[in-house]
Amino acid sequence: MPVITAAIDPVTRIEGHLKIDVQVDTVNGVQQVVDAHAVGTLFRGFEKILENRDPRDASIITSRICGVCPTSHSVAAVLALDAACGVGGDTPERTNSRLLRNLVHGACFLESHLLHFYLLSLPDYITGLPMAPWLPGWRMDKRLDKAVVERFRGNYLKAVEQRRNAHEMGAIFGGKLPHTPGYLAGGFTAVPSANDQALFIGYLNGLIGFIRDVYLPDMDLLGSLYADYFQIGKGYGRLLSFGVFEQDNGASPALLLQSGRLATEAGGVQAVNPALITEQVTYSWYEDSQNNLHPSVEDTRPISPKGKAYSWLKAPRYDGLAYECGPLARMVVSGQYPYSVSVMDRHRARAREALLLANAMLGWANDLLVGNSAYTPCDLPVAVTTAAGLTEAPRGALGHWVKIRDQKIAQYQVITPTCWTISPRDTAGNRGPLEQALIGTPVANVDQPIEVLRVVHSVDPCLDCATHVMRAGAGAKIHALGALPGRK
Amino acid sequence: MVVTRRAFLRYCNLAAGAIGLDVLHLSKLQTALGRPGAPSVIWLHGSSCTGCSVSFLNRISDKPGEPADVAEVLANHINLIYHATIMTSAGDTAAAALKRAQESGNFILVLEGAVPLAFGGRCCISYSYAGREVTHAQAVQELAAKAIATVCVGACASFGGIPASGSNPTQAVSVSKLIGRPTLNISGCPANPDWVVWAVVQLLLAQNPVLDADGRPVALYTTGHDGSAEEPIIHDKCPRNPGNTGTLVATQFGQNGRCLEHLGCRGPHTKARCNASWNGIGGHVYPQAHPGHWCIGVNAPCHGCVEKTFPGPQSFYEPYEP
């Protein structure tokens, strides 16, 4: 049987536009993925949109990169702006700024994790409610009995409510979510009241209960029924985290979830040196003169079509190597999860991170200085200034790099977690992390490769975030599923 | 929690007055939802951030007869056959459902995101069908020509929004600019879920809301949460308006409760019913359950995200002159 080339377009239950091309062959008697291309299908060019704007606008504009991790972009932007404007010191305003930024960001993490597990991932394992948009679905190996299906369906509906509650909780200080106006260069707009604090803690206690008593047990049950997925989707096994959630007001604050990277188990957790990050564009629709540059000097010059390029996602590499990021990377480098990389490990680390974070948020909410401003007055630098803001979105490492000239944005670069994880091949021809993770995935039914979707969803792709993404011209050999010659 | 479609209609009978439906509306809604051939809804993403979809998931209401949350909206109110973020099916199965509805013509089209035209529209591919990639611009042209009605949700679909701002690197345009005729616009960044549900239900009832020059339903900013008349301009209902309340004008952020006009607030130039309207039950205030919020309530400036001038080239932190 020849190698079958098939495409899933659109990949649904993600944020944004993604197409997956896979080649499937039978190896050692098992039909499986032997090659993969991850292809985004949207390019918006936020870096160009930001040029010549007031640098302080970056937190408002970049929030709109993504409706699922908006506050993560705002955090990255204000970290860069605080650095550029010289905001520092151990003051009550800085304390409230840190706490409010953490609490609204944390609310969005919890929202995203619940959304991801129940609404985006579970339909790969259970059949949903008997109507659109849950029907039709793909045929799958049903390993869940009726009682388990009913349990998951019921908890899906509870999760709809709980993820909404997480956003309502964040809006107490953020005003509206997604896209809060709260994050400012120098701090945060809200001045917390005792009522705000009580309301926030009320919501948070409900979420902690749901995560502990429903989400984690559901995750463990799914993991036990699909234990083979602890061996599927392993990929390179290289993990990267920038770290997130500041715990003090110092210049290099302690973080709840640590910065670090892990290339091999023997090598252990190593420090991240941002100077070793480059973006490669050999297979991306950007001018080759932009190849292999550090994001602080990188430009975004689209060109299409271009030779063998197949994506507008650039390929970020750390010291030349592809890394995946996300909750699993954060939890492993923080010593909170054993080093094990797979579909189910990603889901389980995400669930455990949700509980760890929610409990920490309770402490931050109690620490709020009621009635105190969260803003430190600051001025934009007059001299040419470059600054970086490194943080984490729910789905992984996020970096913003800004160059300010004449108090305007001269240059802006964003590397999103999805750029790391869903990146195309690099200059050396090495696959991106998701492309690699798909290799070896067994596929029972090539027309409806549910197994491929399970691997894709485990990394929680957010193509809206991957601002440099686009599908190249389709080759004649690529066919949509169900439209393969002689197949239906 | 999820009621059946029939139970929903029973609620409507009991509570028609409370949701502003007269008997004629009710019978139409029953007809609209009850018949097997009721219009379905297609929700398509263009150059967007998915934020309007996430906002849609934040739907909550305690009004009798109204769907309490998004699960009820989906189970009982609208037959949402295509929405890439939440639908189960993928790939060709998903695209085929879209094509079937397109051919039937019996659907309401909800569009999120701007329409980029650069690179032949190929910087936003909507889906593949029969081996052919369909750009978002093509998909919108084809679907809007067949739809019973087209609703733009959010700033990007309505007016171009952020993708079309600055140097507009992808030559993004609004839906109405692409198709060359006016659209019903539920603007905002994101669109408020109550406004979206309201608009879709109006269309299912074959009602045509009165629109302003920018295609926005006038009722959504002239009517308060309790149905009474409301000041349309944000500044005129702002608790920090110095003229109304004698508050001081802020000289920097962190000055609790002061007017932010000098710090970039666009409230004087923005028409919206935002007060107590976000991330909670519309109109509820603390200590009521699920109080609604707004940007003004957290000492933040209004960024004017419902206006077609959003974001514009001007700083969000300097005094705003449209």
User: Smallest Cβ distance to B128: which of A9, A51, A375?
Assistant: A9
Q: What is the pLDDT of residue A474?
A: 29
- Distance from C-alpha of A97 to C-alpha of B16, rounded to nearest angstrom: 47
Closest-CA distance of chain B to residue A479, Å? 5
* pLDDT class of A417 with cuts at 50, 70, 90: very high
Interface size, chain A vs chain B, as Cβ–Cβ contacts under 8 Å: 315
User: Smallest Cβ distance to B75: which of A68, A129, A135?
Assistant: A129
- Distance from C-alpha of A290 to C-alpha of A474, rounded to nearest angstrom: 24
User: Smallest Cβ distance to A57: which of B118, B287, B315?
Assistant: B315
Closest-CA distance of chain A to residue B171, Å? 9
Q: What is the pLDDT of residue A356?
A: 98
Q: What is the pLDDT of residue B184?
A: 97
Give the residue from A118, A255, A256, A115 showing the smallest Cα distance to A177.
A115
Q: What is the pLDDT of residue A310?
A: 87
Distances from the Cα of A236 to the Cα of A37, A243, A260, A321, A438, angstroms: 15, 21, 17, 10, 11
Q: What is the pLDDT of residue B137?
A: 97
- Distance from C-alpha of A59 to C-alpha of B311, rounded to nearest angstrom: 13
Over residues A413-427, mean pLDDT? 93
CA atoms within 13 A on the CB side of A334: 24
* pLDDT class of A18 with cuts at 50, 70, 90: confident
Residues pairing with B45 in the sheet: B112
Name chain B contacts of A461, Cβ cutoff 8 Å.
none
CA dihedral (B99, B104, B109, B112) in degrees, to 10, reads 0
The separation between the first and the last C-alpha atoms of chain A, rounded to the nearest angstrom, is 16
User: Smallest Cβ distance to B123: which of A176, A470, A473?
Assistant: A470
Q: What is the pLDDT of residue A471?
A: 28
Name chain A contacts of B55, Cβ cutoff 8 Å.
67, 178
The yes-or-no verdict on residue A321 having pLDDT over 80 is: yes
User: Smallest Cβ distance to A61: which of B93, B287, B311?
Assistant: B311
CA-based angle A471:A476:A481, to the nearest 5?
75
Q: Nearest 5°: phi and psi at B185?
A: -110, 120
**Yes or no: is domain B231-322 CATH 3.40.50.700?**
no
Q: Which residues contact A381 (CB under 8 A, 6 or more apart)?
A: A84, A85, A86, A404, A407
CA closest to B155 among chain A residues: A64
CA closest to A155 among chain B residues: B1
Q: What is the pLDDT of residue A1?
A: 56
Sign of CA dihedral A312, A317, A323, A327: negative
Q: In this complex, is the C-beta atom of B26 within 8 Å of any C-beta atom belonging to chain A?
A: no
Q: Across the beta sheet with A18-27, what order do the strands follow?
A: A4-8, A18-27, A30-40
Number of Cβ atoms within 10 Å of the Cβ of A26: 13
| Mutation target among A47, A49, A368 for the B interface, most CBs of B within 10 A | A49
Name chain B contacts of A19, Cβ cutoff 8 Å.
125, 128
Q: What is the pLDDT of residue A2?
A: 66
Who wins on pLDDT, B283 or B205? Answer: B283
Q: What is the pLDDT of residue A465?
A: 62
Closest-CA distance of chain A to residue B123, Å? 5
B85 close to B19: Cβ distance less than 8 angstroms:
no
Q: In this complex, is the C-beta atom of B22 within 8 Å of any C-beta atom belonging to chain A?
A: no
CA closest to B60 among chain A residues: A164
CA closest to B288 among chain A residues: A199
Q: What is the pLDDT of residue B51?
A: 95
A8 close to B91: Cβ distance less than 8 angstroms:
yes
Over residues A113-123, mean pLDDT? 94
| Mutation target among B298, B310, B316, B318 for the A interface, most CBs of A within 10 A | B298
Task: Note the Cα A130 to chain centre separation in Å.
Answer: 30
For residue A342, give both structure tokens.
Answer: 């797979």
For residue A270, give both structure tokens.
Answer: 């190593």
Query: What's the count of helices (H) and strands (E) in chain B, helices before strands?
Result: 11, 9
Give the start-to-end residue ranges of the domains of chain B.
5-217, 231-322
* Average pLDDT taken over every residue of chain A: 90
What is chain A's Cα-based Rg?
22
Pairing assessment for the beta strands B40-45 and B79-83 based on DSSP bridges = parallel
Distances from the Cα of B154 to the Cα of A69, A129, A255, B202, angstroms: 17, 28, 36, 18
- Distance from C-alpha of B68 to C-alpha of A162, rounded to nearest angstrom: 14
Closest-CA distance of chain A to residue B128, Å? 6
- For the ranges A114-123, B30-39, B151-160, the lowest mean pLDDT is seen at B30-39
- pLDDT (tens digit, 9 = 90+) per residue, A230-268? 999 999 999 999 999 999 999 999 999 999 999 988 999
The yes-or-no verdict on residue A90 having pLDDT over 80 is: yes
Q: In this complex, is the C-beta atom of B127 within 8 Å of any C-beta atom belonging to chain A?
A: yes
| Mutation target among A4, A5, A8, A9 for the B interface, most CBs of B within 10 A | A9
Tell me if B305 and A179 make a contact (CB, 8 A cut-off): yes
* pLDDT class of B177 with cuts at 50, 70, 90: very high
Over residues A324-340, mean pLDDT? 98
Q: What is the pLDDT of residue A475?
A: 28
Catalytic residue ranges of B? 49, 52, 156, 189, 235, 238, 259, 265, 274, 295, 302, 305
- Distance from C-alpha of B237 to C-alpha of A415, rounded to nearest angstrom: 41
- For the ranges A90-94, A399-403, B5-9, B14-18, the lowest mean pLDDT is seen at B14-18
CB within 8 Å of chain A, chain B residues 243-282: 252-256, 278-280
Name chain B contacts of A163, Cβ cutoff 8 Å.
57
Q: What is the pLDDT of residue B18?
A: 33
User: Smallest Cβ distance to B256: which of A51, A176, A191?
Assistant: A191
Q: What is the pLDDT of residue B127?
A: 87
- For the ranges A152-156, A326-330, A378-382, A465-469, the lowest mean pLDDT is seen at A465-469
The yes-or-no verdict on residue A75 having pLDDT over 90 is: yes
Name chain B contacts of A115, Cβ cutoff 8 Å.
54, 57
Number of Cβ atoms within 10 Å of the Cβ of B243: 10
Q: What is the pLDDT of residue A6?
A: 80
- Distance from C-alpha of B200 to C-alpha of B111, rounded to nearest angstrom: 12
Q: What's the CATH code, domain B5-217?
A: 3.40.50.700
CA closest to B79 among chain A residues: A132
As a whole-number percent, the residues of chain A with pLDDT over 90 amount to: 74
For residue A107, give both structure tokens.
Answer: 């609310």
Give the residue from A444, A480, A136 showing the smallest Cα distance to B91.
A480
Over residues A77-106, mean pLDDT? 98
The DSSP H or E segment spanning B152 is: strand B149-153
CA-based angle A352:A69:B259, to the nearest 5?
120
* Average pLDDT taken over every residue of chain B: 86
Over residues A431-457, mean pLDDT? 95
Tell me if B131 and A483 make a contact (CB, 8 A cut-off): yes
For B86, the 3-state DSSP assignment is coil
Pairing assessment for the beta strands B115-116 and B132-135 based on DSSP bridges = unpaired
- For the ranges A287-296, B1-10, B71-80, B90-99, the lowest mean pLDDT is seen at B1-10
* pLDDT class of A206 with cuts at 50, 70, 90: very high
The DSSP secondary structure of B253-304, one letter per residue, reads TT-TT-B-GGGT--GGG-B---TT-BSSBTT--TTSSSB-B-GGGGT-----
Task: Note the Cα B78 to chain centre separation in Å.
Answer: 15
The yes-or-no verdict on residue A479 having pLDDT over 90 is: no
Three-state SS annotation for chain A: CCCEEEEECCCCCCECCEEEEEEEEEECCEEEEEEEEEEECEECCHHHHHCCCCHHHHHHHHHCCCCCCHHHHHHHHHHHHHHHHCCCCCCHHHHHHHHHHHHHHHHHHHHHHHHHHHHHHHHHCCCCCCCCCCCCCCCCCCCCCHHHHHHHHHHHHHHHHHHHHHHHHHHHHHCCCCCCCCEECCEECCCCCHHHHHHHHHHHHHHHHHHHHHHHHHHHHHHHHCHHHHCCCCCCCCEEECCEEECCCCCCCCEEECCEEECCCCCCCECCCHHHEEEECCCECECHHHCCECCCCCCCCECCCCCCCCECCCEEEECCECCECCHHHHHHHCCCCCCCCCHHHHHHHHHHHHHHHHHHHHHHHHHCCCCCCCECCCCCCCCCEEEEEEEEECCEEEEEEEEEECCEEEEEEEECHHHHHCCCCCCCCCCCHHHHHHCCCECCCCCCCHHHHHHHHHCCCECCCCCECCECCCCCCCCECCCCCCCC
Tell me if B166 and A53 make a contact (CB, 8 A cut-off): yes
User: Smallest Cβ distance to A175: which of B95, B291, B298?
Assistant: B298
Instruction: Give me the helix-helix angle, B23-34 and B5-14, nearest 10°.
Output: 180
Domains annotated for chain A, with CATH where assigned, are 4-458 (1.10.645.10)
Over residues A43-64, mean pLDDT? 94
The yes-or-no verdict on residue A359 having pLDDT over 80 is: yes
Over residues B73-94, mean pLDDT? 83
The yes-or-no verdict on residue B191 having pLDDT over 60 is: yes
- For the ranges A37-41, A229-233, B291-295, the lowest mean pLDDT is seen at A37-41
Name chain A contacts of B270, Cβ cutoff 8 Å.
none
Q: What is the pLDDT of residue A39?
A: 84
Tell me if A164 and B95 make a contact (CB, 8 A cut-off): no
Is this model's pTM higher than 0.90 or not? Answer: yes
| Mutation target among B55, B100, B253, B305 for the A interface, most CBs of A within 10 A | B253
Tell me if A375 and B167 make a contact (CB, 8 A cut-off): no
- Distance from C-alpha of A453 to C-alpha of A443, rounded to nearest angstrom: 11
Q: Which residues contact B297 (CB under 8 A, 6 or more apart)?
A: A175, B276
Name chain A contacts of B119, Cβ cutoff 8 Å.
43, 302, 304, 470
CA closest to A120 among chain B residues: B86
Q: What is the pLDDT of residue B36?
A: 57
Tell me if B253 and A133 make a contact (CB, 8 A cut-off): no
- Distance from C-alpha of B128 to C-alpha of B131, rounded to nearest angstrom: 6
Tell me if A49 and B168 make a contact (CB, 8 A cut-off): yes
Q: What is the pLDDT of residue B16?
A: 36
Over residues B14-28, mean pLDDT? 39
Tell me if B166 and A170 make a contact (CB, 8 A cut-off): no
Tell me if A42 and B81 make a contact (CB, 8 A cut-off): no
Who wins on pLDDT, B200 or A479? Answer: B200
The yes-or-no verdict on residue B204 having pLDDT over 60 is: yes
The yes-or-no verdict on residue B220 having pLDDT over 60 is: yes
User: Smallest Cβ distance to B51: which of A64, A171, A473?
Assistant: A64
The yes-or-no verdict on residue A312 having pLDDT over 80 is: no
Pairing assessment for the beta strands B40-45 and B107-112 based on DSSP bridges = parallel
- Distance from C-alpha of B164 to C-alpha of B160, rounded to nearest angstrom: 5
User: Smallest Cβ distance to A132: which of B79, B122, B286?
Assistant: B79
CA closest to A168 among chain B residues: B279
